[in-house]
Structure 1
Amino acid sequence: MDKKLTKPLSKDPYMDSLEMESDEPYNEELEASIRKMLIQLGEDPSREGLRRTPQRVAKAMDFLTSGYTMTVEEAVKDALFEDECEEMVIVKDVEFYSLCEHHMLPFFGRAHVGYLPKNRIVGLSKIARVIDVFARRLQVQERLTTQIANGLMSVLNARGVGVVLEACHFCMVMRGVQKQNSQTVTSAMLGTFRQDPRTRAEFMDLIRRSPY
């Protein structure tokens, strides 16, 4: 009978799953810093449960801050199409996740984006990608909202862009005032969305409506 060449599974399925993680590149200097942080927190990074934690955190941080290496143009690529559409286009309830720059704790929520085309429209999935370009950085929600609006305006050359973010901040939930049900809402209105109250009101009404 042929011998199996695969490594036998241990009695701990959790540890087995860690061994199966991919070997994508990561920042080794960041890994070393995280190992030092664990020691300063009073932990032993050599114990079984923490042996690979510095590497995993370094990989996670590389992903969560990957927006620094992305641009709006790269996110949209060739998904801009000439079209005579002049009606409002809205993509709402787009999930986003970011890190607060004050405590590096997560904040997450939903983004609602609308624009008024001017001879060009964009693939709908690219709006979500533009959100990620700016969400995957150390952020404050106010700036994130404005950056998304300005980024879309720059590539679309639209008549107007509106962005509303609704988010929960762990720096308010887990520490500080510890208000678990708090929510922060921010908006950025450009072009016709800022200049015309009727356009702005239509946008706000549409994003509040139930999809069903």
Structure 2
Amino acid sequence: MSIDRERAMRAVTEFLAAMGVDPEVAELRRTPERVTDLAAGMFAQAGADPAEALGTPMEVTEDESHGQVVSVTDVSFRSICPHHLLPFEGRVDVTYAPRARLAGFSRIVKLVSSTARRPQLQERLGEQIADALVRVLDPRGVTVRIVATHGCVEALEPHGKGTQMVTVCTRGEPLN
């Protein structure tokens, strides 16, 4: 992803001024640069195919994978809500029943991380993770469970602090 740093910094400066804040006060002078750098990292995977994070899967026989379920749990992530541009963060559990291909455990973690590094809805995050697994691994079934707290809920709702949102996305056969 290429970014226009100068344009982004000008936009942050203009936003601060539009909010009635003087962007030239000492503590805000580097804010446009800091916000741009932060956003560049948090949006780093915008437009990228999440499936690329899975690399080349390992081939296994039906006998090796029959009845097996693979779970990678408690994967931490941070993303940005596209409605308010505030962070949301939490944990993801990814479970799949392999048919003929396996992904390395670290590749599942990389898939979660790279899929989150773009403006993202929690519901779509789970769908994109599941769909990438289906496309690359062709498993019998996939479940992606996400538990997250959202900065926008905490900022907008007086009793929203610590409220958790849970989404579950499934594809294929149900997993036990």
Which residue in the other structure is 2:168 paired with?
187
Moved over 6 A (4+): none
SS in 1 for 2:38: helix
1:102 aligns to what? 83
Q: Report whether the alignment pairs 1:83 with 2:60.
A: yes
- Between 1 and 2, higher relative CO (CA 8 Å, sep ≥ 6) is seen in 2
Query: Displacement of 1:106 after TM fit?
Result: 1.0
In structure 1, distance between residues paired with 2:88 and 2:21 = 26
So what's the TM-score if we normalise by structure 2? 0.89
**What SS is found at the alignment partner of 1:166?**
strand
Structure whose CA Rg is larger: 1
Structure 1 Cα separation of the partners of residues 44 and 29 of structure 2: 25
Deviates most, 133-142 or 110-119: 133-142
Give the deviation of 1:177 after TM superposition: 4.3
SS at match of 2:170: strand
Task: Report the equivalent of 1:57.
Answer: 35
Partner of 1:173: 154
Q: How many Å apart are 1:35 and its aligned residue?
A: 0.8
Unaligned runs of 5+ in 1: 1-24, 194-198, 203-212
- Structure 1 residues 131-188: Cα deviation after superposition (integer angstroms, max 9, x where no partner): 1232112222112111111111111111111100001111111223442131111001
Identity level (%)? 36
CA distance in 1, matches of 2:48, 2:121: 18
TM-score computed with the length of structure 1 as normaliser: 0.75
Root-mean-square deviation over aligned CA pairs = 1.7
Q: Which residue of 2 aligns with 1:21?
A: none
Q: Gaps (5+ residues) in structure 2? A: none
Per-residue CA distance 1:15-59 (angstroms, 9 max, x = gap) = xxxxxxxxxx86221111001111122222222222211011111
Q: How many residues align?
A: 170
Matched-pair contact (CA < 8 Å) for 2:51–2:135:
no
